């Protein structure tokens, strides 16, 4: 009796490429070929004719492999969107949407040292709302069975995005305005980093952690 | 492109329809489609399996390994609630398409 698993593995293998096709897929295809073989045993075909008939029923092995891989890649992209990009986008839009609304409503920030660039610049109602935003992002990410680190990054995405902006601004800030003391610029950047990245990040992270604790406490449905 | 989409659409409807009567494994799905279409529709493995996996991934089908009466383990596909929901609008869409084609191309039943 022919080893159909081996035949499937051989036919699906492509030289010089990562040949990892799931074992369950190989097994399933091998079972199908065995059924086709059993079917052709009832006819008067020789072994070679039967094999050729089976090969015709398979079609193009390369197309089969590409179809399976394409499906897997499509699945990976969809998963990434559901597990990471969607919750990240939600936290970013809701987080910065709340801030924009507060600014539009005329809410003034609390400044630790008014007029001093080294002072912190805090929108307290925004900071209070951020744990809820983080929890919302974490809920969406966890529902999509996202990994723990992705849940945290997605939940804290408004702070992560702001950190990226700072990374872009940083080199520029040290090159322009050469008359300003570099020390002053560094402290000002640090203060802004704390106001817009560190504290919002902590608030968002707190929401992510609390959502996780709440979910663990709830009995599984 | 249109041809590929058309073929995929036909295959999806055929698969969902044969699974309406209960769970089947890949070979049975292919055979049932061939029998019910009186040989008019026949899918190669290269066409059938990527489609089954795609439909499973979309949540239209659910697959489980089951041991048959002969002791062989088979991966059986069954319709999910989402898949069942897809069936009615798909049937209506295809019926509309055939009606339109009949009007344009004057194709009629033999």
State residue A221's pLDDT score: 47
CATH number of domain containing B38: 1.10.10.10
Question: Does residue B80 form part of some domain?
Answer: yes
Question: Does residue B110 form part of some domain?
Answer: no
Question: What's the DSSP call for residue B40?
Answer: S
Q: Is A182 exposed, middle or buried (0-12, 13-18, 19+ CB in 10 A)?
A: exposed
Question: Does residue B98 form part of some domain?
Answer: yes
Identify which of A27, A32, A68 has the shortest CB distance to residue B50: A68
Q: How far apart are CA B29 and CA B76, in angstroms?
A: 10
Residues 26-85, chain B: which have Cβ within 8 Å of A?
Answer: 26-27, 30, 44-47, 49-51, 53-54, 57, 65, 72-75
The domain of B27 spans 2-105
Give per-residue pLDDT as tens, B17-26. Answer: 999 999 999 9
State residue A15's pLDDT score: 52
Q: How far apart are CA A20 and CA A27, in angstroms?
A: 13
Is the ipTM beyond the 0.90 threshold?
no
Judged by CB atoms closer than 8 Å, whether chains meet at B50 and A67 is answered as: yes
Global pTM exceeds 0.80: no
Give per-residue pLDDT as tens, A166-193. Answer: 888 777 767 776 666 566 677 888 888 8
Residues in chain B with pLDDT values less than 70: 1-7, 107-110
Give per-residue pLDDT as tens, A82-110. Answer: 889 999 999 999 999 999 999 999 888 88
Identify which of A32, A59, A71 has the shortest CB distance to residue B26: A32
All structural domains of chain A with their residue ranges: 4-59, 79-217
Does any CB of chain B come closer than 8 Å to the CB of residue A74? yes
- Do residues B77 and B21 make contact, with C-beta atoms less than 8 angstroms apart? no
Nearest 5°: the CA angle B55, A63, A10 is 110
Query: How many structural domains are present in chain B?
Result: 1
Q: Are strands B61-67 and B73-79 parallel, antiparallel or unpaired?
A: antiparallel
Question: Does residue B37 form part of some domain?
Answer: yes
């Amino acid at each position: 009796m022919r080893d159909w698993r081996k035949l499937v593995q051989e036919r699906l293998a492509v030289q010089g490429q990562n040949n990892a096709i799931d074992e369950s897929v190989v097994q399933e295809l091998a079972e199908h070929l065995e059924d086709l073989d059993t079917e052709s045993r009832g006819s008067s075909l020789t072994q070679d004719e039967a094999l050729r008939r089976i090969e015709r029923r398979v079609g193009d092995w390369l197309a089969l492999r590409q179809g399976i891989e394409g499906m897997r890649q499509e699945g990976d992209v969809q998963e990434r969107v559901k597990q990471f990009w969607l919750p990240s986008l939600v936290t970013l839009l809701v987080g910065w949407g709340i801030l924009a609304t507060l600014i539009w409503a005329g809410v003034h920030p609390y400044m630790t040292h008014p007029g001093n660039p080294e002072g912190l610049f805090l929108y307290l109602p925004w900071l209070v709302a951020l744990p809820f935003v983080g929890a919302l992002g974490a809920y969406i990410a966890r529902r999509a069975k996202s990994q723990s680190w992705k849940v945290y990054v997605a939940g804290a995405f408004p702070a992560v995005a702001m950190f990226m902006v700072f990374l872009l601004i940083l080199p520029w800030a040290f090159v322009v305005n050469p008359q300003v003391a570099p020390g002053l610029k560094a402290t000002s950047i640090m203060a802004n980093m704390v106001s817009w990245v560190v504290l919002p990040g902590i608030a968002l992270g707190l929401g992510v952690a609390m959502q996780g604790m709440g979910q663990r406490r709830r009995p599984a449905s | 492109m249109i041809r590929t989409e058309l073929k995929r659409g036909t295959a999806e409807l055929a698969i969902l329809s044969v699974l309406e009567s209960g769970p089947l494994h890949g070979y049975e799905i292919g055979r049932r489609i061939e029998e019910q279409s009186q040989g008019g529709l026949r899918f190669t493995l290269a066409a059938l399996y990527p489609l089954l996996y795609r439909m499973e991934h979309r949540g239209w089908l659910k697959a489980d390994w089951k041991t048959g009466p002969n002791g062989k383990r088979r991966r059986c596909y069954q319709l999910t609630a989402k898949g069942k929901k897809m069936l009615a609008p798909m049937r209506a869409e295809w019926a509309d398409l055939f009606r339109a084609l009949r009007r344009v191309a004057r194709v009629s039943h033999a």
